[in-house]
Amino acid sequence: MVYTHKKDMFFFFLVLNLFFSSQTLPITPQENTIRIRTILDESEDPTTPFKLFLSLLKIQYKNDLESLVKATQEKWLRPKGKERWQIEDKFSDKKDHTVPFLNYFEMIKTIQAKDKEYEYVIILGAYGPGLVKRISFFLKELNRSIKYKQLVFLTSARKLVPDMENTKEVQALIDKQLPKKNNLNLHNIEPTTETEMAQFIFDQIEFPNELQEPVTVTFVDTPLQKNGHVRRANTADTLKEWLITNPQPGSCLFISNQPFVMYQDTIIRKLIPKDFIVETIGPEIQGDINIWVCLDSIARTLYSKYMY
């Protein structure tokens, strides 16, 4: 149903208020580490909150996942060739109505690790500032007595974006957010790829005495992808590249950041062998919430669930 009249909207928000004040919600935050369960149930049908959300944003679809994917790709996906940080929020006028849902979908606030011991901590690749954010969050999780054996960076050979990943600006974030080793000589060090940037950041970290240093550190340098045209590696590509190395099955704590935790968790669960245990976490959105970026992430989550 699509709500268009004032009377309908009043009824809609009345139902919405009753729903969010209910004590019998189907899933409470972090109760289930399969992140997509807040929007799709085990039968791949939209959950009640997601159905309300789709109605609010006037998404019309048939009663199947393929139709839902097509509709959300058409309405929510960012323009081709545009990165997330390049899009202005065309849904900003709907922020007051959508944020309660996005909170329920666990796309805004911090998600912390549920367990205390993991075989792998795996930091997913990102632009330079995002890498600093994810590494900083990883160190904060160690402060919560998280134990692990291997640290893995799933990065790629993509060239850095000067406007986003200027070395001096990334260095300023490192100086502000991460504990650093003393007497480092950083002159003439100029990373040119995402993998080199991850190494540049990690090599500066001074693990405090109370924090566990990794037994092994692996940087997975995923090449550019060539399939008719050259493109940068995405989450699926970097994960596949790591799996080629035949890692031993074990518990994996993947580090992302909001609002991408659900999207990346969905891809990982579709591709990783079933004998790996998966949990994906990440820090909250900082600053203004770009609703379009969140919707784009939901559209990609649904596509990943359907296609992979």
Same domain, residue pair 129 and 276 = yes
Same domain, residue pair 56 and 156 = no
What is the count of structural domains for the chain? 2
Q: Which residue would you say has higher pLDDT here, 223 or 163?
A: 223
Instruction: Indicate whether 250 belongs to any domain.
Output: yes
Same domain, residue pair 32 and 139 = no
Instruction: Indicate whether 37 belongs to any domain.
Output: yes
Residue with tokens 């109370």: 210
Instruction: Indicate whether 84 belongs to any domain.
Output: yes
pLDDT tier for residue 81 given thresholds of 50, 70 and 90: confident
Cα–Cα distances (Å) from 52 to 9, 13, 129, in that order, read 12, 10, 34
Same domain, residue pair 143 and 49 = no
pLDDT tier for residue 48 given thresholds of 50, 70 and 90: very high
All residues at 6 or more sequence positions from 44 whose CB lies less than 8 Å from its CB, including other chains: 65, 305
Same domain, residue pair 24 and 159 = no
Buried b (16+ CB within 10 A) or exposed e, 263-291: bbbbbbbeebeeebbbbbbbbebeeebbb
pLDDT in tens, 246-296: 999 999 999 999 999 999 999 999 999 999 999 999 999 999 999 999 999
CATH number, domain of 179, equals 3.40.50
pLDDT tier for residue 99 given thresholds of 50, 70 and 90: very high
Same domain, residue pair 264 and 122 = yes
Point out the domain boundary residue: 82, 104, 126: 104
Give the range among 68-72, 82-86, 144-148, 245-249 with minimum mean pLDDT: 82-86
Same domain, residue pair 216 and 262 = yes
pLDDT in tens, 135-185: 999 999 999 999 999 999 999 999 999 988 999 999 999 999 999 988 887
Instruction: Indicate whether 157 belongs to any domain.
Output: yes
Same domain, residue pair 146 and 36 = no
Same domain, residue pair 123 and 69 = no
pLDDT number for residue 16: 56
Whole-angstrom distance, CA of residue 6 vs CA of residue 52: 16
Point out the domain boundary residue: 104, 138, 171: 104
Q: Which residue would you say has higher pLDDT here, 25 or 276?
A: 276
Residue with tokens 């037994």: 215
Same domain, residue pair 264 and 171 = yes
pLDDT number for residue 238: 98
Q: What is the mean pLDDT of the chain?
A: 89
Instruction: Indicate whether 278 belongs to any domain.
Output: yes
pLDDT number for residue 86: 77
State the greatest distance between any 2 C-alpha atoms of the chain, in Å, as a whole number. Answer: 67
pLDDT number for residue 60: 95
Instruction: Indicate whether 290 belongs to any domain.
Output: no
Point out the domain boundary residue: 104, 131, 155: 104
Instruction: Indicate whether 304 belongs to any domain.
Output: no
Q: Which residue would you say has higher pLDDT here, 17 or 36?
A: 36
Same domain, residue pair 60 and 161 = no
Instruction: Indicate whether 305 belongs to any domain.
Output: no
Domain span holding position 163:
117-284
Whether residue 164 contacts residue 128, with contact meaning beta carbons closer than 8 Å, is answered with yes
Q: Which residue would you say has higher pLDDT here, 150 or 8?
A: 150
pLDDT number for residue 210: 63
Cα–Cα distances (Å) from 142 to 121, 127, 150, 256, in that order, read 10, 23, 13, 15
Same domain, residue pair 30 and 149 = no
pLDDT tier for residue 13 given thresholds of 50, 70 and 90: low
Q: Which residue would you say has higher pLDDT here, 83 or 220?
A: 220
